[in-house]
Chain A
Amino acid sequence: MSGLAMAVPAAAPLVEMRDVSIAFGGIKAVDGVSIDLYPGEVVGLLGHNGAGKSTLIKILSGAYAADHGEIRVNGEPVHITSPRDAKRCGIETIYQTLALADNVDAAANIFLGREKLTAWGTLDDHAMEAEARKVMGRLNPHFRRFKEPVKALSGGQRQSVAIARAIHFDARVLIMDEPTAALGPAETRQVGELVKQLKQEGIGIFLISHDIHDVFDLADRIHVMKNGKLVGTARVSDVTQDEVLGMIILGKCPPGAVPGPGAVG
């Protein structure tokens, strides 16, 4: 267990993944990783391409089922074997690919899998559009293209739709996989503002990125992964960016960090 739990007051972590492993065709993509996240906290998950961070997070969001290990939400063990299970636990994910159905409009995407129905059991598109206008108004006040399929939208607008879908359903845990990869500077700033706002609302956020500056700006703590293993965990205030680069590239754990099973030396 991470000794850092003491550093954060209050009860059990919002989410805890303990000793999680998954293998694809004999290759251990994630190997005995334990990470945690507290309410109102932003935790960065860092590592090279192929370090296993996206795979780890897909286990939490229900896209993959872990071979081994345990997931706890608010201290209670949960079984997450599908995206539906994850959503039921209040875990929402914004995927790097955005995972939008390109051929339907913004409201249909926001409510996909959780449609609002009328008293007759038919789709209540008007009510969904009304709520979509509300939530999009908060994220992207200039957005007007509610009637068009999302493939007609710009990268930033598509991102707003993906974020709206994640935050509209009272998420307690938000997973953001490379949320700013496809965005310009203004839109990146906007996402940063949103992260701070959500944090204040007590939502816990996993931020997956290989942009170390982004992570230092927004995260409270970081977990670093290399070759499927956890190199170490640190508070952002206790380590320098160079030290974190050392963790990512060499797997070397600095004094300010708590080493994991993947640490060298």
Chain B
Amino acid sequence: MAEPSTTLSPAPSSEAPAGRRAGIGDALRALELDTRMVGMIGALAIVWIGFDILTGGAFLTPRNLWNLSVQTASVGVMATGMVLVIVTRNIDLSVGSILGFTGMVVGVLQARILPEIWGFDHPMTWVVAVLAAVAVGGAVGAVQGAVIAYLGVSSFIVTLGGLLVWRGAAWWVTTGQTVAPMDGLFKRLGGGFEGAIGAGPSWAVGIAAVLLSVAAILVTRRRRAGFGFPVRPLWAEGVVILLVAAAIVGAVLVVNSYPLPVPVVRRMMEAQGLSTDGTLPFVAHGFAIPVLIALAVGVAMTFLSRRTRFGRYVFAIGGNPEAAELSGINTRRVMVMVFGLMGALCGLSACIATARLNAATNANGTLDELYVIAAAIIGGTSMAGGVGTILGAMLGAMVMQSLQSGMVLLGVDAPMQNIVVGLVLVAAVYVDTLYRRGLK
């Protein structure tokens, strides 16, 4: 098939860095894969396989991977927002406290206020709770952003203050009392077997994801070809589609081979009036709802950062704040929006964390700011600003959680776990510095 790729670039060699040997190098270049992202996935693979060997095969089981994905969801959601914060050369130390505060608000709202209005287990309770969490979190973040952008106080100080203020505010909501239990439907946002969607819907989600990815890749290709720009060779496009599809189908297969516990299956069958004599059927968990929320947030945030003006401005501000200002970008408004978005994501994470715990406590999310920042940094977000990806941060969150989960399986003491995670963070940034220097 004729490729239009040569119409505009008579000297394609000048488009690509020269000086590498032909063969595998050329093939990899044609795939246009992000080498950093490939490195991240490689690192994750090493961590996984390493732990699997050390634990004698206890790590790479559907059960452990499923739990790992649920445990990553809350930090993963917040890490996507932290990428934008750090890209604009700021930091947000208050995310764990905002999570704690909004978690308490959500707990009180659904366990005390809403039941007085429309009784327990109302189908709208969880909707109102989630919207309230996102709104409260967003408002808290926007206020901090406004102080940073318009009053000119550094984000480190404002959010350090926020870390204390909102943790204190979380205590004040109920003067320290834990609020439990949560609404039945709301609880599903936290995972567990009630919060898993089952095998059939998981296949539906997986197939839809594959189709959407393929459509996105093909639409982009056609648009580029339409303008006469260089495009990937067809075989490379095919390989990319295969890799994406394999990752998605693989994830579906994993979550669909983690069975529900036998008593749960029996109870479900009894509820449907089926006989529970003899062998019980295999009923899979499927994707956990918090994981689907985190993945949806990841897709939405990637879209926001890559395909919208807002995202473009966030990166431009990070690259050169003065240039962004001189280009006519309202940089202060963008900063308020970045911190507001960060707060809203904390609200969403508060729902996941509260639902998973089935209780709202004022200590919820303690130290999360450090895990969220570490996830973003391990995921390749540069503290110097201007560089970072949403996917990288989510992979970073996965790496952190894998280390912790793996060490728990190995029976490593809690203090030792912190030491290892701390060292890994420093080492990851060092490797990243080397990589950047290598690019020059």
Select from chain A the residue with minimum beta-carbon distance to B304.
Answer: A122
Whether B323 lies near A99 (C-beta < 8 A) is yes
- A113 CA to B309 CA in the complex, in Å? 8
- A98 CA to B316 CA in the complex, in Å? 14
- A103 CA to B307 CA in the complex, in Å? 16
Select from chain A the residue with minimum beta-carbon distance to B228.
Answer: A130
- A121 CA to B307 CA in the complex, in Å? 9
Partner of B320, one of A61, A101, A115, A130: A101
Asked whether any CB of chain B lies closer than 8 Å to the CB of A250, the reply is no
Asked whether any CB of chain B lies closer than 8 Å to the CB of A189, the reply is no
Whether B320 lies near A99 (C-beta < 8 A) is yes
Identify which of B107-115, B136-144, B326-334 touches chain A: B326-334
Interface size on B, residues (CB 8 A): 32
Q: Using known A-B contacts A112-B329, A113-B327, determine if residue A102 contacts B319 with beta carbons closer than 8 Å.
A: yes
Select from chain B the residue with minimum beta-carbon distance to A162.
Answer: B323
Asked whether any CB of chain A lies closer than 8 Å to the CB of B315, the reply is yes
- A83 CA to B328 CA in the complex, in Å? 5
Partner of B309, one of A123, A144, A149: A123
- A83 CA to B325 CA in the complex, in Å? 8
Identify which of B6-14, B120-128, B188-196, B271-279 touches chain A: B6-14
Whether B327 lies near A112 (C-beta < 8 A) is yes
Asked whether any CB of chain B lies closer than 8 Å to the CB of A181, the reply is no
What residues of chain A lie closer than 8 Å to B8, measured between beta carbons? 133
Partner of A103, one of B15, B306, B315, B327: B315
Whether B312 lies near A108 (C-beta < 8 A) is yes
Whether A63 lies near B326 (C-beta < 8 A) is yes
- A149 CA to B323 CA in the complex, in Å? 15
Partner of B329, one of A104, A113, A122, A147: A113
Select from chain B the residue with minimum beta-carbon distance to A86.
Answer: B328
Whether B312 lies near A104 (C-beta < 8 A) is yes
Whether A112 lies near B307 (C-beta < 8 A) is no
**Can you report 14 residue pairs joining A to B where beta carbons are below 8 Å apart?**
A83-B325, A87-B328, A100-B320, A101-B320, A102-B386, A108-B312, A113-B329, A114-B328, A123-B308, A126-B223, A126-B227, A129-B227, A129-B229, A147-B15
Q: Which residues of B contact A (CB under 8 A)?
A: 8-9, 11, 14-15, 223-224, 226-227, 229, 303, 306-309, 311-312, 315-316, 318-320, 322-329, 386-387
Which 8 pairs, one residue from A and one from B, show the smallest C-beta to C-beta distance?
A103-B319, A101-B319, A103-B386, A113-B327, A84-B328, A99-B323, A101-B316, A113-B328
